[in-house]
Amino acid sequence: MANIPADLRYTKDHEYVKQTGDNASVQIGITDYAQGELGDVVYVDLPKVGAVFARGDVFGTIEAVKAVSELYAPLAGTVTEVNTALEGDPALVNKDPYGGGWMIKLAHRAIASSVMLTLTFHGHACFTLEADARRVIIDPFLTGNPATDIPLTRLAKVDAILLSHGHGDHLGDAVPIARRDGATIVATAELARFCGERGATVHAMHIGGARQFPFGRVKLVPAFHGGAVEGDTTGQFTTNPCGVVVTMGGHTVYHCGDTGLTMEMQLLAGRVDAMLVPIGDNYTMGIEDAVRAVEFVQPRTVIPMHYNTWDVIKADPEQFQRQVGGRARVVVLAPGDAHTLS
């Protein structure tokens, strides 16, 4: 039976929070149950002192013989100390998870500007996300989009552009926006290289990878779709499409991209505050599969997208809302509408 000290607080991800003697910080590690499930720990990757995390951010990874797992910050705060003993003896996590196997100490802070995230829908699959004085745009298809609410000239300055794939209705105005605003395009490596060769500042990633940026954390996850890149006449930039999981202001948003229903979605179960899901069928999931995707991910809120831009993807968001029922809160946005997570 796992050891469960009564004086600690625990998260659903099997991390614990322990008050330190000076009351200025808390000690964080993983539970006895978690280390048992992982097996023999062989490596722990921890942040540097001074790193700042919002609640729910990934602060490190732990590698064991059975699996590699991400470590989630149970509180917002600044790292004040890291357990350097784990560098030489990561097995301390197994031998003494509540003592010598602790991982970081965090000076907890309440960040008023980090408790609200506003999503604004710009038609098709384009959204802006704003939190803590930072703004990013996902799949910026504005020019030529019959459903958009704004032209490119009226789009406010953004800090980053996140791309799910390179089709024209998603790549859209990414390069012009990046060049105009000095914003970074975050995309799969081949698509990032394509944009970089056209004068954009880029950060290349790939599926399964995660990265902390000044605006928040991005992780790319699988999506099933085509990988051609609009404007690539050689085919050398063909890439894998992806879903984008972005955490800003302590809230996690999963933009599914263009995709069919995937079993991998279940890996995000319970970790998503807002899910942006295509329902238009033909090129992506239709309503029936999108409802199943909601069952897989279990988000707090779901927002339908990628429908009614053209007749071939005509769908009824009210029908989607009815079929989701009590599984999640469905928020139907018209282009230009916004929804705030708090």
Which segment of 3-7, 29-33, 134-138, 234-238 scores lowest on mean pLDDT? 3-7
Residues 28, 118, 153, 254: what is their CA dihedral angle, to the nearest 10 degrees? 60
| pLDDT for res 10 | 85
Q: Which pLDDT score, from 0 to 100, does residue 66 have?
A: 79
pLDDT of residue 115: 55
Average pLDDT over residues 307-320: 98
Cα 72 to the chain's mean position, in Å?
A: 13
Once rounded to an integer, what is the mean pLDDT over residues 110-130? 81
Percent of the chain whose pLDDT exceeds 90: 79
Tell me what the pLDDT averaged over the chain comes to: 92
CATH code that applies to domain 9-110: 2.40.50.100
Contacts of 189 (CB under 8 A, 6+ apart): 204, 205, 206, 239
Rounded average pLDDT over 84-94: 95
- Whole-angstrom distance, CA of residue 50 vs CA of residue 182: 27
Report pLDDT for 1: 46
CB atoms < 10 A from the CB of 171, how many? 24
Lowest mean pLDDT among 1-15, 68-82, 145-159: 1-15
Length of the chain: 342
Q: Give the domain ranges of the chain.
A: 9-110, 113-341
What is the pLDDT averaged over residues 44-52?
Answer: 89
Cα(265)–Cα(24) distance, rounded to whole angstroms?
A: 38
Query: Which class in CATH covers the domain with range 113-341?
Result: alpha beta
Of 18-22, 45-49, 296-300, 336-340, the poorest mean pLDDT is in: 18-22
Tens of pLDDT, residue by residue over 252-283, are 999 999 999 999 999 999 889 999 999 999 99
Q: How confident is the model at residue 110 (pLDDT cuts 50, 70, 90)?
A: very low
Question: 9-110 and 113-341: same fold?
Answer: no
Radius of gyration of the chain (CA): 21
Is pLDDT at 108 greater than 90 in this prediction?
Answer: no
